[in-house]
């Protein structure tokens, strides 16, 4: 029944790891050929792989793990998916119903443990309710703001026979609102017609809404001529080559993007949630602007920042309505004022905030990413990242022209996300070039997935920026803790080339900037998984940076004066 339900929901790939409590389901999987099962090496890897699959395709990722430790190993991935709004359906085995609550072998209160980290979860005790629950789970995972759901299935329910119910249009009361309120939309359009310094601030919500939303966003931005910036999660919704593109904003965002957010008079938030990495000091955030907030989740609105024009709805539908109303009112903007606003932004751009001092003796991580961008930009490319300085540099130096090409752990910031996610992406796009930009410490967290990559012949490219440090932590220790580098270096690192070969894959090491181009080309052209150990400058800091507790116009742009910059209040914020 489980397998039939998955097939009827259009599932073609399941990431999982077997165990005693899920043997009946694995038996069914063995006896069919429509659904592919990818055997990972750790359940956390299965969930991150499903996340990579989901973000790169727009379809929900499906995971199958066993009870007890299988389910608890999935918790990190579930929490990651919840914070980044990724649709996932996770099936966990459970001990038989008559053993629940008796501390049986591999028993855990899965539903209790995952209650705060899933959008919703179910424990199925009645075999006749099983198929209906699975269909409902897919509905909940994908409707409204997407998120992870979990279905706990006891073993005796898996063995039992019951009546299968095919999927039907959901009669559940959970039907989130997708169409925005027309009066609020009209008010926003009126504001757009009068704005002299407008800014679009977009986020992951545009990606979740689907490719049509990205298309509509592009049309609206280019028609109005308003500048647009994006959060880490929203990169690719508007192309980096677009003429109104400001660059990413936030704690490590570009100078011109943060200054534009600070000085604007109309801030249109589209599918973004005003996360603390973006806002910096809230009482000094964009102080003189009218804020419009378009979001499908009403609890996001007015949570952090007061919304003057709140619009609850799916960004795709709302953007469509905004375009209609704006066009029907004569496509008005304050064209002259917006032009001089763009000129002001041009002046800020001249500061060239991403400049770094390059040299020909060591590889600067920024240079490595610039070379990677140059050599891969014309390919069918998908990028995942781990978490840390390399993640920020990847967001700054790689350009994204399409949505669903950029997979990163934004909300939870899970180290160890990127490698399994790249596996999930490669499964969904077998012919594409999938690159995981990693730090050596993050990469080692889920290194066991090399087995998965080699077994399933997934030619994922692991681009490791190896500085033998926990870079982001080290940067904060330098800034805030008087250069007391407490446990922020990587000792006893493996020889990555030998490690790759031990798994049957290819390893490349590069430490000379002159060799970089050839080494990257070798990585791209190798038909199989590659670990690329790029030995980079060890003490490079990631700029620009808005130190915690500071406002957008108090950015640090370089090494100059970084001591004593964070006060005690700011120190308490991460």
Tokens found for residue 40: 């990972």
Tokens found for residue 90: 């996770």
Tell me the closest approach of the beta carbon of residue 227 to another protein, in angstroms: 16
454 within 8 A of 523, measured Cβ to Cβ = no
Query: Would you give the DSSP letter of residue 67?
Result: S
205 within 8 A of 315, measured Cβ to Cβ = yes
Nearest to another protein of 111, 160 (CB atom): 111
Beta-strand ranges (E) seen in 296-452 are 309-312, 381-385, 406-407, 433-439
Nearest to another protein of 98, 105 (CB atom): 98
State the catalytic residue, choosing from 7, 32, 98, 105: 105
Tell me the closest approach of the beta carbon of residue 287 to another protein, in angstroms: 10
Sheet containing strand 148-154, edge to edge, reads 36-39, 13-16, 61-65, 88-94, 148-154, 120-123
Question: What angle do helix axes 315-328 and 211-224 make, rounded to 10 degrees?
Answer: 30
Tell me the closest approach of the beta carbon of residue 375 to another protein, in angstroms: 44
Tell me the closest approach of the beta carbon of residue 40 to another protein, in angstroms: 28
Residue 549: HSE in the Cβ half-sphere, 13 Å Cα cutoff: 12
Tell me the closest approach of the beta carbon of residue 383 to another protein, in angstroms: 31
Nearest to another protein of 275, 533 (CB atom): 275
State the catalytic residue, choosing from 1, 43, 364, 503: 43
Antiparallel, parallel or unpaired: β 530-535 and 461-466:
parallel
Write out the residues near another protein by the rule CB under 8 A: 111-112, 115-116, 119-121, 123, 140, 145, 173-174, 181, 183-184, 186-187, 190-191, 194-197, 265-266, 288-290, 297-299, 301-303, 306-310, 312, 334
Nearest to another protein of 113, 557 (CB atom): 113
Please indicate whether residue 105 is annotated as part of the active site: yes
Nearest to another protein of 45, 144 (CB atom): 144
Tell me the closest approach of the beta carbon of residue 79 to another protein, in angstroms: 12
State the catalytic residue, choosing from 155, 291, 461, 550: 155
Helices assigned H by DSSP within 438-554: 440-445, 450-455, 471-480, 496-503, 516-525
Please indicate whether residue 472 is annotated as part of the active site: yes
State the catalytic residue, choosing from 106, 165, 334, 455: 106
289 within 8 A of 269, measured Cβ to Cβ = no
Please indicate whether residue 419 is annotated as part of the active site: no
* CA dihedral of residues 5, 9, 12, 18 (deg, nearest 10): -40
Nearest to another protein of 138, 496 (CB atom): 138
State the catalytic residue, choosing from 472, 523, 545, 555: 472
Burial 500-529 (b: 16+ CB within 10 A, else e): beebebbbbbbeebeebeebbeebbeeeeb
Tell me the closest approach of the beta carbon of residue 99 to another protein, in angstroms: 17
> How buried is residue 373: exposed, middle or buried, by Cβ count under 10 Å (0-12/13-18/19+)?
middle
Nearest to another protein of 184, 540 (CB atom): 184
Q: What are the phi and psi torsion angles at 227 (to 5°)?
A: -70, 150
Annotated catalytic residues are: 43, 105-106, 155, 472
């Amino acid at each position: 029944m489980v397998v039939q339900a998955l097939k009827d929901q259009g599932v073609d790939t399941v990431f999982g790891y077997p165990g005693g409590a899920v043997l009946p389901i694995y038996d069914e999987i063995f006896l069919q050929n429509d659904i592919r099962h990818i055997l990972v090496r750790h359940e956390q890897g299965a969930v991150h792989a499903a996340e990579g699959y989901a973000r790169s395709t727009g379809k929900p990722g499906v995971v199958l793990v066993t009870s007890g430790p299988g389910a608890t190993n999935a918790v990190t991935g579930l929490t990651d998916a919840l914070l980044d709004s990724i649709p996932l359906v996770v099936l966990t085995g459970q001990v038989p119903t008559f053993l629940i609550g008796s501390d049986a072998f591999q028993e855990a209160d899965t539903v209790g443990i995952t209650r705060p980290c899933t959008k919703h979860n179910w424990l199925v005790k009645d075999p006749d309710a099983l198929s209906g629950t699975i269909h409902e789970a897919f509905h909940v995972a994908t409707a409204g703001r997407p998120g992870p759901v979990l279905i706990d299935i006891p073993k005796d329910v898996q063995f039992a026979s019951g009546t299968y119910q095919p999927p039907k249009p959901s009669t559940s009361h959970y039907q989130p609102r997708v169409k925005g309120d027309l009066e609020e939309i009209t008010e926003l359009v009126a504001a757009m017609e009068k704005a002299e310094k407008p800014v679009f601030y977009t986020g992951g919500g545009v990606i979740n809404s689907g490719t049509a939303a990205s298309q509509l966003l592009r049309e609206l931005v280019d028609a109005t001529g308003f500048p647009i910036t994006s959060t880490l999660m929203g990169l690719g919704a508007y192309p980096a080559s677009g003429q109104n593109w400001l660059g990413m904003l936030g704690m490590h965002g570009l100078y011109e993007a943060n200054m534009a957010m600070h000085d604007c008079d109309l801030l249109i938030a589209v599918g973004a949630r005003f996360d603390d990495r973006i806002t910096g000091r809230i009482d000094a955030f964009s102080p003189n602007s009218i804020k419009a907030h378009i979001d499908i989740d009403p609890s996001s609105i007015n949570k952090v920042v007061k919304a003057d024009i709140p619009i609850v709805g799916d960004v795709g539908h709302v953007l469509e309505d905004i375009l209609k109303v704006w066009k029907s009112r004569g496509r008005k903007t304050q064209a002259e004022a917006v032009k001089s606003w763009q000129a002001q932004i041009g002046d800020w751009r001249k500061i060239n905030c991403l400049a770094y001092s390059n040299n020909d003796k060591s590889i600067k991580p920024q240079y490595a990413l610039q070379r990677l961008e140059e050599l891969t930009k014309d390919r069918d490319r998908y990028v995942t990242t781990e978490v840390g300085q390399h993640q920020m540099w990847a967001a700054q130096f790689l350009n994204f022209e399409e949505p669903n090409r950029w997979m990163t752990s934004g909300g939870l910031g899970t180290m160890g996300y990127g490698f399994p996610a790249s596996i999930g992406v490669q499964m969904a796009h077998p012919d594409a070039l999938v690159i995981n930009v990693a730090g050596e410490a993050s990469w080692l967290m889920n290194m066991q997935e090399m087995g998965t990559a080699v077994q399933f012949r997934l030619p994922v490219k692991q681009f490791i920026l190896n500085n033998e440090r926990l870079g982001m932590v080290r940067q904060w220790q330098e800034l805030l803790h008087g250069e007391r580098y407490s446990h922020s270096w990587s000792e006893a690192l493996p020889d990555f080339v030998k490690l790759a070969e031990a798994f049957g894959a290819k390893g490349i090491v590069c430490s000379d900037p002159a060799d970089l181009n050839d080494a990257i080309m070798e990585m791209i052209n190798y038909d199989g998984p590659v670990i690329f150990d790029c030995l980079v400058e060890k003490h490079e800091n990631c700029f620009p940076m808005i130190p915690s507790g500071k406002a957008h116009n108090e950015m640090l742009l370089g090494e100059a004066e970084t001591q004593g910059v964070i006060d005690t209040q700011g120190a308490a914020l991460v």
